[in-house]
Amino acid sequence: MKILVAGGFGAGKTTLVGSVSEIRPLRTEEELSEQGRPVDDTSGVETKRTTTVAMDFGRIDLQPGLALYLFGTPGQDRFWFVWDELARGALGAVVIADTRRLADCFPSVDFFERRGIPFVVAVNCFDGAERFEVEEVRDALDLDPGIPVLLCDARLREDGKEVLVALVEHAAAGRHRAATARA
Ligand SMILES: Nc1nc2c(ncn2[C@@H]2O[C@H](COP(=O)(O)OP(=O)(O)OP(=O)(O)O)[C@@H](O)[C@H]2O)c(=O)[nH]1
Ligand SMILES: [Mg+2]
């Protein structure tokens, strides 16, 4: 199963792919440069030194016979053109949200809603960030009640796995509903 890991700049996409992957993840990190300063919005994540310029790639066997291929998207607006290519054939997506900059994940939510790709929202609970209930996040993002919202720490493998299990179950339930509707 091909899965996308999306979300705004610095939300923790590379971190999540790295923490759950059972292979050494492929990364395309580059230093944030002076040239990028006028176009890259780093507000809220001023300490960030590198950014994904193409994609992250990792793999995990979630259960016997179910391998997930994880594709982390780049977070900066100027790399949006990569998303269409990465999304081809994706069966689901994780949208990582940072509640300090929640609006940054709106474009990701729109992207998957418009393409009918099932997704879950994983709230990455950064140290020192104000905590919100999942229902508050759901309301703020104006999500359908059926879309799973989870709290996680992207650095923890078990949290990342929980998010992926929720996504696989959510995507499977959607396919089941579609098949039943056709029958
Ligand atoms: N405290 C805390 N720090 C985190 C967490 N997840 C990620 N970080 C840190 O936040 C920074 C951003 O993480 P990345 O994984 O690079 O974010 P990204 O979404 O891939 O960023 P771009 O590819 O540039 O859009 C890194 O310095 C991480 O170490 C978390 O759950 N808690
Ligand atoms: Mg990244």
H-helix or E-strand spanning residue 175: helix 157-182
Write out pLDDT tens, residues 7-27. 999 999 999 999 999 999 999
Q: Which amino acid is at 116?
A: G
Residues with CB under 6 A from ligand 1: 7, 9-15, 48, 51-52, 74-75, 124, 126-127, 153-155
Residue 152's SS3 state is strand
Question: Domain total for the chain?
Answer: 1
Four-residue CA torsion sign, 36, 41, 47, 52: negative
What distance in Å separates the CA atoms of residue 121 and residue 149, rounded to the nearest whole number?
5
Q: Which domain holds residue 62?
A: 2-182
Write out pLDDT tens, residues 141-183. 999 999 999 999 999 999 999 999 999 999 999 988 889 998 8
Atom nearest to 50 CA in ligand 1: 24
Q: For residue 44, is pLDDT > 80?
A: no
Q: What's the CATH number where 11 sits?
A: 3.40.50.300
